[in-house]
Structure 1
Amino acid sequence: MYHLVFSADENYIKYTSVLITSIISNTDKSKKFKGFDENSNIKDEKYFFHILSNFVSDKTREKLLNLQNTLNEIFPCEIIIHIKNDEDFENFPTSGAAHSLKLPYYRLRLSSIFDESIKKCLYLDSDMLCMCDIRELFSINLKDKIVGVVGDPGSKKSKIKFKENDKKKIFYFDENYFNSGLLLINLEEYKKHSIEQKCEELASKCYYIKAADQDLLNATIETRLRHKLDFAYNFNIITLFYTICKDEKKNRLNYTRTEFNEALKNPKILHYGEKPWKFLKSYFDYKGKNINDYWWDMANKTPIFNEELLKEKQDIKAYLLYASLGYELLKSVKRANFFKIHQLIKSTERDQFYIEQTSKINDDIFGLCCMLGESILHARKHKKDFFGVYLKALKMIYNFKKYHFRSRI
């Protein structure tokens, strides 16, 4: 039996259904678990998909039941809903990733939904897509490690600020900082080391925390008690924009360029930063395919929810503004046209005209343009000045040219 856990509110469940379908679709029915782990005693090959949520309507529950019944014809599975309440997480700060609701913290209390007979579970963020037989992960022997994790691709300058004995303290993260979008959890060790309690205790002292559960887990699980997984198992698609590896710069992605390139050529689980239900197009992979197309190909095959998803797809257009503004910013930076950058931030009058020019953007820079466009929209929202945007764009363009995967293979 394989236990997988997701967090999803009512609106996110349709996206979770795509991930669940991708797991079933990539399970090799001709292969038994013995083929992954010859020492395994697993006899019942069945997936249990646990969804942690704050509310699921009767209509959505019915859809999930129908999804379960349809997928069960392909491979044995069961979908189980666990309702949690934000009130149960009153000691956890409302900030950063948990600025509007406490759902990101729900995964910290996994041990409360499993009895003692369940030794291992896999947590996955709903904005992921499985590209492999997920049983590969369940075959990994964690031994005395608490969790199997994948390094986070971002900068390791984050920190937690908290008070202890009326003194302000700071917990700094290092190069071993991991992404909590995928957690292969040894439930016995998780309970043995009281991770739930440690997270809540630290959370109650925090006055600044950015990445919610991710920061808490990084602060409470010692590096020696983590099993480092291949980057392919949590292949964050932002790395297709550009990636700085540990052999190129300290405190960046904690994998070598060689290790990253291996994952790039054969990603096992995709982790979408630019959500496919918001961006129809973003980055292009090693094979030259729009990375978001993989998700929509699976959405089209997802039972019960596919009509709703494909209808939603027809209205996705906001990403065109990101790309078009970014394209204008890219041209302006190259020409050091500060007046144009100022106009991009201060005026929206020509936005529709820019959107109509989106087709001129080459695929190899489309992702770059999306990220540059985000800096314009951020500046508009927070009333930033043009020079800060210019400097940020310069750095972004420099890193893209130097560390984009096509320039590093």
Structure 2
Amino acid sequence: MISVAFCIDDKFAPYAAVSVISILSNTKSFVNIYFIGNLSEGVREKLLTLKNDRSAMVFVAHNLPLSTMPLSDRYVERLNKITFVRYAIAEVLTKLDKVIYLDADVLVCGDIKRLWEQPLKKSYVGAVLDHSLMSQKRHITLSLKSKSYFNAGVLLVDLKIWRDRRIFQYLSRTHNTRERWEYNDQDVLNVVLDEKVQYLGADMNVQTYSLKHINIKEPLIVHFTGQEKPWHTSSVHPYKDQYRVLLESVPFKNNKLSLYLDKEDRTILARLTAQFENGGNLIVWGAGARGRRIVKAIEQEFPAIVIKQVVDTYLIGKCFSYPIVSPENMTIEAIDAVVVATLPHKQDIRNLLRDKALTVI
């Protein structure tokens, strides 16, 4: 019998439902699904409809003393403090000795028994390297002795060891040593569990960065890391279509695609609409994640503004329906503005366009 746990609130229930459907449709063994969180009755009833004859749903409310420390600026618009509940997963699931913890933004593509049966070899947790943050030397920033940094969205947890070694207390104390951790509880988990991790294959937690940089032929779990999620209209993730089919099937009204915009996106759009409230023709410079969000926002919310070109220095191909052109092939005739959606290079682009009769936003 396999045990899987999610720490969610009502807001993330539709996405956890997709994860549950993907688990149950690919796993032959009996699975107990634990939902840790103070969920409303209506949400609990909807989640119960996902149960089949090889599963059980268990709802675990909590009254935990969660940290009063704020989330980091990087995540303040994307997460809430339910993320800190996983610190106490061993205290909440008192009758279990082992559990698979999953973030709500995962898609299970194979039998999760493969993860369940991974040997921990006396380690406190099984996890996969966070390849993106390893490339940014996060392990050096945190002075980790193991010289490794794991992603905390997919964990195989030895709950007995966590209780015996009072890991909840260590996590709570460590968390409170700083006003903010840039990667919140993931940073804290890495610090406390340093050198106590059994590292698993990348296929057990295939992060968005990993798909681009590592050859992973058969992902067991696809983890939609980063700002852009498959339920966002701007997503170009290779597994988004597979995810969206399941999202449409979950019994929640808020299972539709949405437009995600961060603070910088909203600032750019506010400047654009203030100057071109009656419409205009523009170029979007930048075909990455921010550029895609800006394009979708203009298409959905500002029909009087017409995108004539999408420009990028490095990317090729298409940005939705727009062919991506290089700066050398940019056409500025009849263009009113260039929206710069690649912030690190904004001043360089301004300098390049300063002799043009264009508004640069």
Alignment CA distance shift 1:239-1:365 (3 Å): farther
Q: How does 1:165-244 map to 2 (within 5 A)?
A: 171-173=142-144, 175-223=147-195, 225-240=196-211, 242-243=212-213
In 1, distance between residues paired with 2:87 and 2:110?
26
Q: How does 1:331-370 map to 2 (within 5 A)?
A: 352=303, 364=317, 366=319
Q: How does 1:253-268 map to 2 (within 5 A)?
A: 260-261=214-215, 263=216, 265-268=217-220
In 2, distance between residues paired with 1:79 and 1:358?
50
Contact map agreement 2:128 2:151 (CA 8 A) in 1: yes
Deviation of the 1:79 alpha carbon:
1.5
Gaps of 5+ in 1: 30-44, 161-169, 244-259, 286-290, 332-340, 370-374, 392-409
Question: What amino acid sits opposite 1:106 in the alignment?
Answer: V
Superimposed CA distance per residue, residues 198-242 of structure 1 (whole angstroms, 9 cap, x where no aligned partner)? 11111122123111110111001122x2111111111112344x4
Q: How does 1:372-391 map to 2 (within 5 A)?
A: 376=340, 386-387=346-347
Superimposed CA distance per residue, residues 237-258 of structure 1 (whole angstroms, 9 cap, x where no aligned partner)? 2344x43xxxxxxxxxxxxxxx
Q: How does 1:64-103 map to 2 (within 5 A)?
A: 64-68=47-51, 72-73=52-53, 76-85=54-63, 88-90=65-67, 92-96=69-73, 97=75, 101-103=80-82
Alignment CA distance shift 1:130-1:177 (3 Å): same
> 1:296 — aligned with what?
244
How many residues are paired up? Answer: 301
Alignment CA distance shift 1:211-1:317 (3 Å): closer
Gaps of 5+ in 2: 273-281, 325-338, 352-361
In 2, distance between residues paired with 1:190 and 1:299?
34
Q: Could you say what secondary structure the match of 2:242 adopts?
A: helix
Q: Taking every aligned residue pair, what percent have the same amino acid on both sides?
A: 23
Deviation of the 1:153 alpha carbon:
2.1
Deviation of the 1:330 alpha carbon:
3.9
Question: What amino acid sits opposite 2:21 in the alignment?
Answer: T
In 2, distance between residues paired with 1:388 and 1:107?
43
2:35 aligned to which of 46, 51, 56: 51
In 1, distance between residues paired with 2:36 and 2:30?
19
Q: Could you say what secondary structure the match of 1:80 adopts?
A: strand
Of Structure 1 and Structure 2, which has the larger fraction of its residues in strand? Answer: 2
Q: How does 1:88-167 map to 2 (within 5 A)?
A: 88-90=65-67, 92-96=69-73, 97=75, 101-116=80-95, 118-156=96-134, 157=136
Superimposed CA distance per residue, residues 6-65 of structure 1 (whole angstroms, 9 cap, x where no aligned partner)? 1211111011101000000111x4xxxxxxxxxxxxxxx421111122x32222122122
Deviation of the 1:194 alpha carbon:
2.2
2:284 aligned to which of 321, 328, 336: 328
> 1:165 — aligned with what?
none
Q: How does 1:34-49 map to 2 (within 5 A)?
A: 45-49=29-33
> 1:278 — aligned with what?
232
Contact map agreement 2:175 2:185 (CA 8 A) in 1: no
In 2, distance between residues paired with 1:171 and 1:356?
43
Deviation of the 1:141 alpha carbon:
1.7
In 2, distance between residues paired with 1:154 and 1:363?
22
Contact map agreement 1:91 1:200 (CA 8 A) in 2: no
Deviation of the 1:281 alpha carbon:
3.7
> 1:338 — aligned with what?
none
In 1, distance between residues paired with 2:148 and 2:83?
21
Q: Could you say what secondary structure the match of 1:88 adopts?
A: coil
In 2, distance between residues paired with 1:25 and 1:358?
42
In 2, distance between residues paired with 1:385 and 1:234?
32
Deviation of the 1:113 alpha carbon:
2.0
Superimposed CA distance per residue, residues 336-356 of structure 1 (whole angstroms, 9 cap, x where no aligned partner)? xxxxx9xx9xxx899657775
Deviation of the 1:309 alpha carbon:
5.2
TM-score by length of 1: 0.62
Alignment CA distance shift 1:3-1:318 (3 Å): closer
Question: What amino acid sits opposite 2:90 in the alignment?
Answer: S
Contact map agreement 2:71 2:180 (CA 8 A) in 1: no
Alignment CA distance shift 1:171-1:351 (3 Å): same
Q: Could you say what secondary structure the match of 2:104 adopts?
A: coil
Question: Aligned-pair RMSD on alpha carbons?
Answer: 4.1
Contact map agreement 1:7 1:107 (CA 8 A) in 2: yes
Contact map agreement 1:149 1:228 (CA 8 A) in 2: yes
Contact map agreement 1:232 1:267 (CA 8 A) in 2: yes
Q: Could you say what secondary structure the match of 1:210 adopts?
A: coil
In 1, distance between residues paired with 2:110 and 2:200?
15
Question: What amino acid sits opposite 2:120 in the alignment?
Answer: L
Q: Could you say what secondary structure the match of 2:60 adopts?
A: strand
Deviation of the 1:151 alpha carbon:
0.7
> 2:14 — aligned with what?
14
